[in-house]
């Protein structure tokens, strides 16, 4: 399996300071095989390996790691990002920004777990989000499926809309009307699936989508589907404007490779995972955990994480020392700090570990926006010369224009960065670096 494969290669490449084409080649071959074994679709594997190679080659290997371990770190980071770590927490949450009722339309093949997921979602929305939920089934071909939804809705303590109509669209319209008149916050619409991709099924669900204009259209996919997941996902994604994915049956022995395939093909965030047949078996999706599951290398990943933290702590200590002896906080230090923020697993998770006054300052900040800002800031600093970075005061109009052009931003963005930098610099002066270590320790949580 993957763990054994990678562990073997990890052992074979040791004692080199950088990742190179040569020392990563064999390792990447193993990662490739392993992803295929985890049932990630071939085109997805190819594109993924390409990206990892690009990121890895030339990278320095941290002191306490072997090149193999370092490469696993790169693989894990890239995988987490593709799984959605980069999108921020918002991406994986349901959208309710609409006139109630917020409609959630469920799509997917038969037997993947749509009806069960409706029951789970209803329970989650009622208990965790305090929503008033109505469910309805448009699976007119299988009376038992309608009964099934009525049962799970009852078990979840939410209302079920029963209808005598024989047409899915009629049923959906009547349910919507009922939901409006009785002030439901959410209407979840279950649909009929087929065993394979089917023209009639696709037409029916696009019709429902047109009629309802749901704010969420969730594609439900079975984690055990393996290589096939990619074709099914493509058909549904072409036919419907999906807003998210639910990956069911992750409690099985599947590695979850389908998550990567489906995410890659649709570009849509995985929002939930199903982890049991029971109605409490629904979890909010966690990209990093999913990446680790696909990789299956807990031990090495923990080691890599530890090494990363040590690097950050060393950097913080060095900065503290420099400031104590009267050194100046410059743009290089600023860049290093931005880099550390990213290592800490993204802005949102970092903010949640920050001291209270930082959290207050950041309240109401859009995290996706903030993540983009951070990347832009890095881009701007990268466009500066070493001299400019260590002596920011020499950056006047002409240099600003050159830096802006180099980073593909406006001069006002460069100005904003410089003023943010100055704020940070004066804060550093006040703390004399003394607060840094405390902050770092807080962050490690």
Q: In the complex with ligand GDP, which residue's Cβ is closer, 195 or 363?
A: 195
Q: In the complex with Mg ion, which residue's Cβ is closer, 116 or 337?
A: 116
Q: Is 243 in the site for Mg ion (CB under 5 A)?
A: no
Report how far apart, in Å, the C-alpha atoms of 13 and of each of 2, 9, 25, 63, 71 are: 17, 7, 11, 14, 10
Q: Which stretch binds Mg ion (CB under 5 A): 28-36, 113-121, 327-335, 398-406?
A: 113-121
3-state secondary structure (DSSP) of residue 289: helix
Q: Is 115 in the site for Mg ion (CB under 5 A)?
A: yes
Could you tell me the two tokens for 273? 């995972």
Could you tell me the two tokens for 276? 């049991």
Report the C-alpha gap between 71 and 23 in whole angstroms.
10
Q: Which residue has the tokens 């040590």?
A: 310
Q: In the complex with ligand GDP, which residue's Cβ is closer, 116 or 156?
A: 116
Residues 90, 367 contacting (CB under 8 angstroms): yes
Phi/psi of residue 418, nearest 5 degrees: -65, -35
Q: Is 162 in the site for ligand GDP (CB under 6 A)?
A: no
Could you tell me the two tokens for 417? 């960065």
Cis ω on the peptide bond leading into residue 101 (within 30° of 0)? yes
**From the list 114, 123, 271, 293, which residue makes contact with ligand GDP (rule: CB under 6 A)?**
114
Kindly state the number of chain residues that form the binding site for ligand GDP, as judged by CB under 6 A. Answer: 17
Residues 301-360 that bind ligand GDP (CB under 6 A): none
Q: In the complex with ligand GDP, which residue's Cβ is closer, 276 or 383?
A: 276
Contact partner at residue 77 from ligand GDP, Mg ion, none, CB < 5 to 8 Å by partner kind: none
Rg of the chain over all Cα atoms, to the nearest angstrom: 25
Q: Is 214 in the site for ligand GDP (CB under 6 A)?
A: no
Contact partner at residue 85 from ligand GDP, Mg ion, none, CB < 5 to 8 Å by partner kind: none
Q: Is 220 in the site for Mg ion (CB under 5 A)?
A: no
Report the C-alpha gap between 330 and 421 in whole angstroms.
8
Contact partner at residue 227 from Mg ion, ligand GDP, none, CB < 5 to 8 Å by partner kind: none
Task: Write the DSSP string, 317-360.
Answer: HHHHHHHHTT----HHHHHHHHHHHHHTT-HHHHHTTS-HHHHH
Q: Of all helices (H) and strands (E), which one includes residue 60?
A: none
Neighbours of 161 (CB within 10 A): 23
Q: Which stretch binds ligand GDP (CB under 6 A): 9-17, 172-180, 268-276, 330-338?
A: 268-276
Q: In the complex with ligand GDP, which residue's Cβ is closer, 251 or 378?
A: 251
Closest CA to 240 of 212, 260, 264: 212
Q: Is 112 marked as a binding-site residue?
A: yes
Residues 172-211 that bind ligand GDP (CB under 6 A): 193
Q: Is 140 in the site for ligand GDP (CB under 6 A)?
A: no
Q: Which segments within 240-363 are labelled E, that is strand? A: 244-248, 270-274, 282-284
Residues 40-59 that bind ligand GDP (CB under 6 A): none
**From the list 81, 93, 276, 390, which residue makes contact with ligand GDP (rule: CB under 6 A)?**
276
Q: Applying CB under 6 A, which residues contact ligand GDP?
A: 108, 110-116, 193, 248-249, 251, 274-277, 281
Sequence ranges of the binding site: 108-115, 190-194, 248-251
The binding site for Mg ion (CB under 5 A) comprises 114-115, 145
| Binding-site residue positions for GTP | 108-115, 190-194, 248-251
């Amino acid at each position: 399996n993957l763990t054994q494969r990678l562990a073997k290669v990890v052992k074979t490449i040791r004692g080199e300071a950088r990742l190179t084409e040569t020392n990563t080649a064999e390792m990447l071959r193993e990662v490739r095989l392993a992803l295929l074994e985890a049932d990630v679709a071939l085109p997805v594997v190819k594109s993924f390996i390409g990206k990892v190679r690009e990121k890895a080659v030339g990278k320095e290997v941290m002191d306490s790691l072997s090149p193999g371990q370092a490469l696993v770190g790169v693989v894990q980071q890239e995988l987490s990002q593709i799984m959605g770590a980069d999108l921020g927490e918002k991406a994986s949450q349901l959208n309710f920004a609409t006139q109630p009722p917020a409609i959630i339309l469920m799509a997917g093949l038969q037997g993947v777990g749509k009806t069960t997921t409706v029951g789970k979602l209803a329970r989650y929305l009622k208990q965790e989000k305090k929503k008033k939920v109505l469910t309805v089934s448009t699976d007119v071909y299988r009376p038992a499926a309608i009964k099934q939804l009525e049962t799970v809705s009852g078990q979840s303590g939410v209302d079920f809309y029963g209808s005598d109509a024989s047409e899915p669209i009629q049923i959906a319209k009547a349910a919507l009307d009922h939901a409006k008149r009785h002030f439901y916050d959410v209407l979840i619409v279950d649909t009929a699936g087929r065993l394979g991709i089917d023209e009639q099924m696709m037409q029916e669900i696009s019709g429902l989508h047109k009629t309802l204009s749901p704010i969420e259209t969730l594609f439900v996919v079975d984690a055990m589907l393996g290589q096939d997941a990619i074709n099914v996902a493509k058909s549904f994604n072409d036919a419907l404007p999906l807003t998210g994915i639910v990956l069911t049956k992750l409690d099985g022995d599947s590695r979850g490779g389908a998550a990567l395939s489906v995410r890659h093909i649709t570009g849509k965030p995985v929002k939930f995972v199903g982890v049991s047949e029971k109605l409490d078996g629904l979890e909010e999706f966690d990209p990093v955990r999913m990446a680790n599951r696909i990789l299956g290398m807990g031990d090495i990943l923990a080691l890599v994480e530890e090494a990363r933290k040590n690097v950050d702590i060393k950097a913080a200590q060095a900065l503290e020392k420099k400031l104590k002896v009267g050194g100046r906080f410059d743009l290089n230090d600023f860049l290093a700090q931005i880099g550390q923020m990213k290592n800490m697993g993204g802005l949102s998770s970092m903010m949640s570990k920050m001291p209270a006054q930082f959290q207050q300052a950041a309240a109401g900040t859009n995290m996706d926006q903030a993540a983009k800002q951070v990347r832009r800031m890095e881009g701007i600093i990268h466009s500066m010369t070493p001299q400019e970075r260590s002596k920011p005061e020499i950056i006047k109009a002409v240099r600003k224009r050159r830096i802006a052009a180099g980073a593909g931003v406006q001069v006002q963005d460069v100005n904003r960065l410089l003023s943010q930098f100055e704020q940070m610099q004066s804060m550093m002066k006040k703390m004399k670096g003394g607060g840094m270590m405390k902050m770092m320790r807080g962050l490690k949580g």
